[in-house]
Structure 1
Amino acid sequence: MDKTAQSVWDHCLQFIKDNIQPQAYKTWFEPIRAVKLTDNSLSIQVPSKFFYEWLEEHYVKLLKVSLTKELGDGAKLVYIIRMENTYGNKKPFTEKIPSNNRPSVPSQELDVPLKNKNPELKNPFIIPGIRNVKIESQLNPNYSFDNFLEGDSNRLARSAGLAVASKPGGTSFNPLLIFGGVGLGKTHLAHAIGVDIKDKYPEKTVLYISAEKFTQQYIESVKKNTRNDFIHFYQLIDVLIIDDVQFFSGKSGTQDVFFHIFNHLHQNGKQVILTSDKAPVDMQDIEQRLLSRFKWGLSAELQSPDYETRISIVKNKLYRDGVEMPFEIVDYIAKNIKTNVRELEGAIISLIAQSSFNKKEVTLDLASQIVEKFVKNTKREVSIDYIQKIVSDYFQMDVSTLQSKTRKRHIVQARQLAMFFAKKYTKASLASIGSQIGKRDHATVLHACKTVDNLAETDKQFRKYIDDISKKLTL
């Protein structure tokens, strides 16, 4: 029976399959296609340059042994890199590279000439021109479970994080989505999970990246026509941590590429950890197919810390900095800064700095001055999403109801109040406020603010609504 490219490759695959891990086989050999057999030279098709380089880096000996068994000592392997271009109507390009021949490819071996024959950036975290497929985790070792103090406000998220760190990809918490307001510890917890996994499983590839950086890398890959390389790079990751995933909002290309990466990782038992400033149900301009995947695992909320947790946080911060402070000052700070952990720690740092630089004793009076300035500076840092949540909770309705098109009087008033407070407490434009609160225009927001002002003067009950919600927003 005459040998064909497919029959030779099938025999090679049988040998390869017996000599590597099933997961590695699935990732690196199943996508390969046998294309042509000429004498003792087998041409195989791979989906990207990154793919080819990885095979040459890690599996060239295995390929050589398997091919020699089939075609004899003079066996040769030629890679055909065929990358589909999904943008515009350009033809996919094809490039042939003989195995172990790393220099630039002679032009006659190109089916379609490439404009740039220089090696593109394969690993988005490596400086261009340096051939290296090592993936650094980008984790901050200072963020650990030890200094992420547990309280009622974060117990679920912290416990889920510990479970994921013990068995990444092996729990029902996949993906794990950690959400909550500013300064509550989302990034800290995400890093802590990654750091713990690296300690327990040094062989696993863990990567932390912000959604903004991920988007920038994706845009760069589209410009350079290396989209497939970008995808293959992220498909290598065992534990992918993406911070501030709400940044994908409205970015359809980034959402599409992340959708495919997420599917690959999830199907292959890899762990995905996401953080967001809002729950999936409150995310806007994110595709439904992506939102549904965010809900596959566990969404755990980080809430503002309670008094006991705030006391623990202040004491822990002082202990780590080697500073002693009377309990009455610790108590005063914990009682007066309620919003988030970042502000608590910031106040402590300011207090210690004032005391040491100005050689002042740490007194209740000094603490009062620091806290007063700190609370004043942070009081207006209120997001439109937070305002909508507070107003919705006050009127006992969902945010989606608040944003809906309904003209029921109590819902319209709640919506108008949300717009009024958004104008009062944020620096957002009227157009931006309208867009985020039910996709209204700036004229609607202006009308809402005037209506609230008028009702405040004529309706006692409405005035009470304004006072109550103001207190909640300025706590």
Structure 2
Amino acid sequence: MSITAQSVWDNCLEFIKDNIQPQAYKTWFEPIIAVKLTDNALSIQVPSKFFYEWLEEHYVKILKVSLTKELGETAKLVYIIKMENTYGNKQPFTEKIPSTNRGSVKSQDVDIPLNNKSPELRNPFVIPGIRNVKIESQLNPNYSFENFLEGDSNRLARSAGLAVSAKPGGTSFNPLLIFGGVGLGKTHLAHAIGVDIKDKYPEKTVLYISAEKFTQQYIDAVKKNNRNDFIHFYQIIDVLIIDDVQFLSGKTGTQDVFFHIFNHLHQNGKQVILTSDKAPVDMQDIEQRLLSRFKWGLSAELQTPDFETRVSILRNKLYRDGVDMPEDIIEYVAKNIKTNVRELEGAIISLIAQSSFNKKEITIDLARIIVEKFVKNTKREVSIDYIQKVVSDYFQMDIDTLQSKTRKRHIVQARQLAMFFAKKFTKASLASIGSQIGKRDHATVLHACKTVDNLSSTDKQFRKYVEDITKKLSV
């Protein structure tokens, strides 16, 4: 029986398979193609330069042992890198790299010197010029489950996060999509999951990245003709956390590459965690095939925290900072700042700062001044509570009446307008809007929005209501 490149490589693979983890074998050895055997040198084709560098960095010993076993001490291994062509040249091009000599070798179309390898091919996060194979997680250790306080508004998302961190890739929450408005803790929770996984599974590669940075890295990779390297880098991550995934909206190239990365990670039991300012159903200009994958796991919403949760957040913040504050002032701040957690903590920090810089005692009067300034400066971010107040005041009714079950026409219309403006001015989901405006379901909110649109175009008086309230909310 004659020895061929394929038969030699098959025997090498048998040996390698017995000596490494099945997942590593599947990722790093199954894609390799045996090309030819010449003068005791086996040529193998790998998908990218990143792939070659990873093999040389992590598996060179086992490759040497397996090849020596088959071909003897004089055996050589030559890598042929089939680089993806992203510039429209008709011919693909390859470069040949002997394992024993990493110098430049003339290829069929181009000559690429390898003694000046770009570190960014190995890892897009590495500072150019600094050799580093280790993938840093980019996580912020200050964001933990310990300081992410549980309340009705975040219980599902927090519990799902804990389940994922206990068994990454091993729950039905894959992907885990955390969505909600600005400042409600999406990024905090995403980091907390990553930090907890790193504590429990130090051997796992966890990576946090914003969708904006991911997009920029992809653009850079295409410019440098390194698209394959970019894909392979992300395919080796065990837990990938992408923040603000709605940023991919309209970016078809980035969506396409993320689709392939997502599929590979999901099929191989890796964990994907995403955050977004809206639910998948409300995302615009995201490909349907991606949206359908976002729905494979669990979409968990972070809602505006209720009064009790806001008080707990403030108490926790003060405790961590070692600051004492009277209970009535904590409750005053919690009662008046409802929109998001970031504003809530910002107001308490401002209050402490004003007190210490001006050597003033923290009083209700001081709290009132700070809160008024804070609310004034942040009023652009309209909350559902604020919308209900504006609509109720406009129709001269209280909020309880607006939210009531009554079917009186003028109250129903006021409620429908509140729902319509909540959809228009906030990023809350239809389900969240409904639950906050009289505990209705998402279908009721959808019907309300359609009714307001129809009445606006047919009823002159109703159109005036819409215009007046729009002006009040836009101030």
1:420 corresponds in structure 2 to none
Aligned counterparts, 1:331-370, within 5 A:
331-370=331-370
Which amino acid is 1:411 matched to? D
419, 422, 425: which one aligns with 1:387? 425
Cα deviation 1:175-225 (Å, max 9, x = unaligned) = 000000000000000000000000000000000000000000000000000
1:73 positional shift = 1.1
Give the secondary structure class of the aligned counterpart of 2:79: strand
Counterparts of 2:361 and 2:305, CA distance in 1: 28
Distance 1:382 1:253, change over 3 A: farther
Q: In structure 2, how many angstroms separate the alpha carbons of the residues matched to 1:73 and 1:391?
A: 66
Post-superposition Cα deviations, 1:334-373, rounded to whole Å, max 9, x if no partner, equal 0000000000000000000000000111000000000000
- The question of whether the paired residues in 2 share the 8 Å contact of 1:388 and 1:399 is answered with no
Q: Is residue 269 from structure 1 mapped to residue 263 from structure 2 by the alignment? A: no
Paired position in structure 1 for 2:145? 145
User: Is the Cα contact below 8 Å between 1:379 and 1:474 reproduced in 2?
Assistant: no
Counterparts in 2 of 1:47-126, with a 5 A limit?
Answer: 47-102=47-102, 104-106=103-105, 109-114=106-111, 118-120=116-118, 121-122=120-121, 123-126=123-126
Instruction: Summarize the Cα distance change of 1:350–1:19 in structure 2 as closer, same or farther, 3 Å threshold.
Output: same
1:98 to 1:413, Cα distance in 2 relative to 1, 3 A = farther
1:176 match: 176
* Aligned match of 2:235: 235
Give the structure 2 partner of residue 281 of structure 1: 281
Distance 2:182 2:338 in 1: 12
The separation in 1 between residues aligned to 2:455 and 2:257, in whole angstroms, is: 40
- CA drift of 1:241 comes to 0.3
Gap change, CA 1:60 and 1:4, over 3 Å in 2:
same
CA contact (8 A) 2:68 2:75 kept: yes
Asked if 1 retains the 8 angstrom alpha-carbon contact of 2:180 and 2:427, the reply is no
TM-score, with normalisation over the residues of structure 2? 0.84
| Residue identity matched to 1:346 | G
State the SS of the aligned residue for 1:18.
Answer: helix
Aligned-partner residue type, residue 71 of structure 1 = L
**Offset at residue 69 of structure 1 (A):** 1.2
Q: Is the 8 A contact 1:401 1:411 kept in 2?
A: no
Gaps spanning 5+ residues in structure 2: where?
384-421
Tell me the CA shift for residue 129 of structure 1: 2.7
Contact (CA 8 Å) 1:391, 1:469: kept in 2 or not?
Answer: no
- Residue 39 and residue 399 in structure 1: after superposition, are their counterparts in 2 closer, same or farther (change >3 A)? farther
Q: Partner residue of 1:429?
A: none
Separation of aligned partners in 1, 2:23 and 2:324: 53
Q: 2:277, 2:355 → 1: CA distance?
A: 35
Taking the aligned partners of 1:289 and 1:402, their CA distance within structure 2 comes to 30
The aligned counterpart of 1:431 is none
* Offset at residue 388 of structure 1 (A): 6.4
Mapped contact 2:266–2:272 kept (Cα < 8 A): yes
Please report how far the alpha carbon of residue 399 of structure 1 lies from its aligned counterpart in structure 2 after TM superposition. 8.4
CA distance in structure 2 between the aligned counterparts of 1:57 and 1:138, rounded to whole angstroms = 22
> Are 2:48 and 2:228, in contact at CA under 8 Å, matched by a contact in 1?
yes
Distance 1:137 1:51 in 2: 20
Q: CA deviation at 1:101?
A: 2.2
Distance (Å, rounded) in 2 between the aligned partners of 1:5 and 1:398: 67
Q: What CA deviation, in whole Å up to 9, does each residue of 1:387-431 have, x standing for no partner? A: 26679758976888899xxxx7743456x8xxxxxxxxxxxxxxx
Shift of 1:132: 2.0
Q: Take 1:468 and 1:227, find their aligned partners in 2: how far apart are those partners?
A: 50
Aligned residues: 426
Provide the alpha-carbon RMSD of the alignment: 2.6
Matched, 1:411 2:453: yes
Q: Which amino acid aligns with 2:425?
A: I
- Amino acid in the other structure paired with 2:117: P
Aligned-pair distance for 1:86? 4.1
Give me the whole-angstrom Cα distance separating, in 2, the residues matched to 1:466 and 1:372.
27
Residue type of the alignment partner of 2:109: V
* Structure 2 partner of 1:304: 304
How far apart are residue 325 of structure 1 and its match? 0.8
Query: Percent of aligned positions with the same letter in both sequences?
Result: 78
TM normalised by structure 1 equals 0.84
Measured at CA, do residues 385 and 119 of structure 1 come closer, stay the same or move farther in structure 2, by a change above 3 Å? farther
What is the one-letter code of the residue matched to 1:241?
I
CA spacing shift, 1:101–1:90, aligned 2, 3 Å: same
Structure 1 residue 463, shift from structure 2 partner:
5.1
Conservation of the 8 A alpha-carbon contact between 2:104 and 2:113: no
Q: Which moved more, 1:385-394 or 1:247-256?
A: 385-394
The one-letter code of the counterpart of 1:294 is: F
Structure 2 Cα separation of the partners of residues 68 and 391 of structure 1: 62
Q: 1:172 to 1:322 in 2, by over 3 A?
A: same
Unaligned runs of 5+ in 1: 417-450
Hey, what's the Cα distance between the residues in 2 that align with 1:402 and 1:153?
Answer: 24
Partner of 1:441: none
Alpha-carbon shift at residue 114 of structure 1 (Å):
3.8
Judged with a 3 Å threshold, the aligned counterparts in structure 2 of structure 1 residues 464 and 276 are, in CA distance, closer, same or farther, namely same
Counterpart Cα distance in 2 of 1:358 and 1:388: 37
**1:83 Cα deviation (Å)?**
1.4
Question: How much does 1:467 deviate?
Answer: 6.7
Question: Are 2:207 and 1:207 equivalent residues in the alignment?
Answer: yes
Segment of structure 1 superposing worse, 69-78 or 385-394? 385-394
